[in-house]
Amino acid sequence: MYSKEIEEFIQQNKYPNFSPKAIFFDMDGVLFDSMKHHANAWVKALHKMGLPFTEYEAYMNEGRTGASTIDGVFVKTHGRIATEEEKNNIYRLKSELFEASGKTEQIAFALELLEKVKAQNLEIFVVTGSGQASLLDNLEHNFPQIFHKEKMVTAFDVQHGKPHPEPYLMALKKSGVQPWEVVVIENAPLGVESATEAGLFTIGINTGPLDPKVLSDSGANIVLSGMEELYDRWNKFSENWS
Ligand code: MG
């Protein structure tokens, strides 16, 4: 299963083979079922400032830094980017609304997949545009013995958020592996774009309300319906690695 996708990936990138040593996990919508809370908080915070924004737009912008999302809304509404003060005010409000939305659940089957990956002796990294302290702090608590602070790339590590490739290039640097030795798990179109721009094999899992086509259009090598399907197919997928 997936030998065709792997072969295409090797050829397109002119890589010697595909031999994963590390798995890069996005966080929101991949490990935590947090996107509905983020989307809701964005809509409320921007509406409060008189700026039009929909939950659909929140999902389409997922992966951007807060500042970049706010600038996008300002350009669309006012024809200019936001001032630092506007960005700080809106992002603070958005974060408060997010924190008030209650406990964030894990994505079903995320822990099971992480344990499977760990048992295969593969390195596990988190690559997220998020700077939401509560979620980052909760990673180690929610997924015990899986994550380590030095194996994370967050909003605090990069200049450019997704869809820029910098977050995934940074993860390559931190992990010391080659681009043909990585699998990325992403749920958002801009996250898929960032990972594929960095030259990485990317599995898009559609855990939100978007049409799965947006994930394949963004360049995902494989698109699946969600984490459960990925968990079910993982063994068959890894049988095709060299
Ligand atoms: Mg995500």
Output the CA 81–ligand 1 centroid distance in Å. 24
Output the CA 204–ligand 1 centroid distance in Å. 10
pLDDT of 239 above 90: yes
Domains 3-34+104-238 and 35-99 share a fold: no
Q: What pLDDT digit, counting tens, does each position of 186-203 carry?
A: 999 999 999 999 999 999
Q: What pLDDT digit, counting tens, does each position of 62-89 carry?
A: 998 899 999 999 999 999 999 999 999 9
Provide the pLDDT for residue 123.
97
Nearest to 155 by CA among 124, 183, 133: 133
Output the CA 192–ligand 1 centroid distance in Å. 9
pLDDT of 210 above 90: yes
Q: What pLDDT digit, counting tens, does each position of 145-171 carry?
A: 898 888 999 988 998 999 999 999 999
pTM, two decimals, is: 0.94
Output the CA 27–ligand 1 centroid distance in Å. 6
Q: What pLDDT digit, counting tens, does each position of 103-157 carry?
A: 889 999 999 999 999 999 999 999 998 877 777 788 888 898 898 888 999 988 9
Provide the pLDDT for residue 134.
76
CATH 2.40.10.340 fits 3-34+104-238, yes or no: no
- CATH code, residues 35-99: 1.10.150.240
Output the CA 4–ligand 1 centroid distance in Å. 26
pLDDT of 211 above 90: yes
Q: What pLDDT digit, counting tens, does each position of 4-58 carry?
A: 999 999 999 999 999 999 999 999 999 999 999 999 999 999 999 999 999 999 9
Report the percent of the chain where pLDDT is more than 70: 100
Output the CA 61–ligand 1 centroid distance in Å. 10
Provide the pLDDT for residue 126.
96
Output the CA 114–ligand 1 centroid distance in Å. 16
The residues spanned by each domain of the chain are 3-34+104-238, 35-99
Separation of alpha carbons 55 and 44, rounded Å: 10
